[in-house]
Chains A and B, each alone.
Chain A
Amino acid sequence: MEENKGFENLNVWQKAHSFVLNVYKYTKAYPKDELFGLTSQYRRAAVSIAANIAEGYGKKGINDKLRFYNIAEGSINECRYYVILSKDLGYVNAIESLTLYSELIVVQKLLSSYSKSLVRNTTTNYHLLTTKKLKTMANFYLDNPSMKHHLHHPLMKRIVELKERGFADKDKYDYAPLDFEDAMDSYEKVLEIVGEICGDIIAPNAESVDHEGPTVANGRVTYAKGTQENLDAVRKAGLMGIAMPRRYNGLNFPIVPYIMAADLVSRADAGFENLWGLQDCAETLYEFGNEDQHQRYIPRVCGGETMSMDLTEPDAGSDLQSVMLKATYSEQDGCWYLNGVKRFITNGDADIHLVLARSEEGTKDGRGLSMFIYDKRNGGVNVRRIENKMGIKGSPTCELVFKNAKAELCGDRKLGLIKYVMALMNGARLGIMAQAVGLSEAAYREGYAYATERKQFGKAIIEFPAVYEMIALMRAKADASRSMLYETARFVDIYKALDDISRERKLTPEERQEQKRYSKLADAFTPMGKGMTTEYANQNAYDAIQIHGGSGFMKDYACERIYRDARITNIYEGTTQLQVVAAIRHVTTGTYLNRIKEYEAIEYKPELQNIKSKLVAMTGKYEKLVAMVTETKDNEYIDFHARRMVEAVAHCVFGYLLLQDANEDESFRRSAEVYVNYGEAEVDKICSFVSNFTQEELAAYKQA
């Protein structure tokens, strides 16, 4: 083992250096006309040997080192020729030439054995490094106590009850839960597996996946090596089809633990969450496909085959009504054929696709669109190109060409967009919320870790108010986003489970009412949550870089990847602006306010009353704000202030959710305080802007 002091101690460098000195000595006597000829070349080559050994020594990676030693090796050979040339030109005598030549051979041998030993040692060291790193690698579920907190929400009792229907599966499936506690225990155990895969496999792969990205050749996509490893691990762990019924080999988990897994995966690698989250398509297939389709496709998804939802086209992004991909029914073959182009399709080379296509010739709007299932085994769809994206680079975004691709109808004709895609999108939006929450968490952790380690002016930068404020706010935004995610997921869980029950039997009037209530809440909370949490993910990623300072701008730290990955979350599955469009009616109809009143009625601990009274005041201001805007009855004016109103009420909702968390678990108290302080100021800002704003001022904003 070489002493770790510097290249000067390397035997090979010492020999090389002595060779250089000899070359300088002898070449001094070379003819003057060789000064810029052989003399200069010879000296340069000799110096290159020693210099490259020194430079290679300072490199940390084995490949980098070897690159320099290869250059040195080349220079040795070059010098061997100059030795011969010098002798043949009569510049040096035979003895001098032999001395130099043997010196060179020694250097060459030493360098060769040094490089070899380096390869061996480094390999061993890297083995050690890997095990060390793996050991310190955390379990993403266990290292974050807020996961357990959200998993054990009181409403879970009802959710599990609906999902398990009297635990009837326990006699049919050896892995079905026996009762509520057993079900919760199973969720935890499975989330532990997810947490371990995230910490040990997905997170360590994230950097290389980001660099490598997927490739496309001959119409087929090849994932980055790390992505493939992630997928293999997830498949072997049996984590695909988590939410599908057991009769199709699923785990029959509610949305809450399923989305929690997505939250964990996103913290590890947001890009991989896209592949993971496409399990959602199976949900749509389950909801709207027929029994035959269920049996043929869902077990394949549970077995690890991937899915995609092919909606957007070059001229149909946010405006899906203008989808043009053509579906034609062939009476002769008794099946549908798809022709056209889809663009921006995540995981577009999936095994099973859900495709939105125009089945009604001559139509131009959403009512002419139907949903189809395309099975890759049938062929007919090729990947023309994959996009070169700013972030989530591991997830292939494809342009697809459909050429007489055989497909089958899913559900009823003409309901493709207006019913099925809307359902699909709501599920997908929840998935993006989870992605945003994972990113917010990751950004916070990166920022926190750096601020604790980085010392400036004699102390860790986390001790400076300007830095710790950023970190506290990042924590608060991440916590608030997570609370919103699981609140929404619970609403979705209840109404979807009741939906599913209604396919088996008629719901009781109470159940119907319950379903209506939670379906409406899910409808209100999904766009608000998606809109706000994805903006927070971006803000947290921005602040994480800010905390890193100049280093954060370099490729050396994860925060720059998080920043790029986060940027898409507030764009796809409906931009924040479109989430506001979906949320605003719940502002005007009072869905949010009614829910807030329920939160207000909860009994809070005395020490939390201060936060609560701030929230009560914020809610009051929000009510006045809405009245002020809506009483104008000017739709454009209302649209203009829509985002402000949605944000104002979101601050109240997020604040109350954190207050409830703090009521249960003291560790959320700080985030509740920090968030409500922030939200209070934001609401004031919004109110001030709106109340100082007159309808006439709109003119200054209008562009033509």
Chain B
Amino acid sequence: MSLKIIVLAKQVPDTRNVGKDAMKEDGTVNRAALPAIFNPEDLNALEQALRLKDACPGATVTLLTMGPGRAAEIIREGLYRGADGGYLLTDRAFAGADTLATSYALATAIKKIKDYDIIIGGRQAIDGDTAQVGPQVAEKLGLTQITYAEEILNVDEAARRITVKRHIDGGVETVEGPLPIVITVNGSAAPCRPRNARLVQKYKRALGAQEKAPAPACHPEGVNQPAYPELYETRPYLNIPEWSVADVNGDLAQCGLSGSPTKVKSIQNIVFQAKESKTLTSSDRDIEDMIVELLSNHTIG
């Protein structure tokens, strides 16, 4: 018996280091101006999955992400740390998805993967902060869910039970659930391990189909042919599979913008206009005070 784990991960704009171009005129996130990163809590989830893999011989870890072609980077980051493979859900029809359409897309892809015991993802993504996608995936698949997990304490493969320590207000609780199950991981869980030197060398040229496709000659960075095209024949593991709506037998109406009932009522564009500057020392006290201040005026949190 070997555990099959699917890690849900998202490429997000790094909203933690927001510069002046972070928002567009219309108040939406300017994704081009912010570096694209692995959603932090999804990294915590990946670490939990990899720990299970370390502990249970034969366990496999597969990443599932949805996004544009460049989101294949998420799969690579997973491979660098010990994941076995991954799928990139990518299709124009997926674009503009709210949490409902996203969880629909992920759930159909998971159904296509078919064989799974644990589906694990971060509690929430830092670009939306909804914490809805994980729970909705569980609902769509009809699975039990454990949210705000801090640590997977045990998996009993024979009894098909999992024991998880989860973060609750003011403490922790230990809960048990049946496999298969959906787990969302809290940021207070163990940080993700570093990339592995050997795996980075092995997978550094892994590419998704869109990344491999030569860019048009007019592309500002020129024609980006992969450096060693023959490798993708001799080393199949370097091809990151991409799935379209059709590949996962998705219903177009439930995907992307058309599948998203969420309507933005209004966007408040808050521009901080600093009138005075403050000098802080690097002492903990100063930083702590600043954070308290930023929290109380809702700049963060």
Contacts and interface: CB of A to CB of B under 8 A. Distances in A.
Nearest to B294: A128
Interface string A4-23: 10000000000000000000
A251 B282 CA distance: 39
A453 B286 CA distance: 14
Contacts of A186: 200-201, 204
**Residue among B40, B170, B197, B231 with the highest chain A CB neighbour number at 10 A:** B197
B292 A125 contact: yes
**Residue among B227, B235, B288 with the highest chain A CB neighbour number at 10 A:** B288
Contacts of B17: 135
A279 to B, nearest CB: 13
Nearest to A455: B279
Contacts of B204: 185-186, 189
A165 interface: no
Q: Is the interface of A mostly helix, strand, loop or mixed?
A: helix
B194 A196 contact: yes
Contact of B289 (A4, A193, A239, A251): A4
Interface stretch (A206-214, A230-238, A419-427): A230-238
Interface string A105-145: 00000000000000010000101110110010000000000
Contacts of B194: 193, 196-197, 201, 233, 236-237
A129 B284 contact: yes
B197 A120 contact: no
**Residue among B200, B201, B204, B301 with the highest chain A CB neighbour number at 10 A:** B201
A60 B282 CA distance: 13
B295 interface: yes
Contacts of A61: 284
B2 interface: no
B292 A233 contact: no
Contacts of B193: 233, 236-237
Interface in B260-301: 281-285, 287-289, 291-293, 295-296, 300-301
A60 B291 CA distance: 13
Nearest to A450: B282
Interface string B162-199: 00000000100000000000000001100001111111
Given A60-B285, A186-B204, A453-B281, A239 B291 contact: no
A233 B81 CA distance: 12
Interface in A168-219: 174-178, 182, 185-186, 189-190, 193, 196-197, 201
Interface string B220-251: 00000001100100010000000000000000
Contacts of A602: none
B160 interface: no
A237 B300 contact: no
14 contacts: A1-B296, A4-B293, A128-B300, A128-B301, A129-B288, A131-B187, A132-B291, A135-B16, A178-B231, A189-B201, A190-B201, A193-B197, A196-B194, A251-B198
Interface of A: 1, 4, 60-61, 120, 125, 127-129, 131-132, 135, 174-178, 182, 185-186, 189-190, 193, 196-197, 201, 233, 236-239, 242, 251, 453
Given A4-B292, A178-B228, A237-B197, 14 more contacts: A60-B284, A60-B288, A120-B170, A125-B292, A129-B284, A129-B287, A129-B291, A132-B287, A174-B202, A175-B202, A186-B201, A193-B194, A238-B196, A251-B198
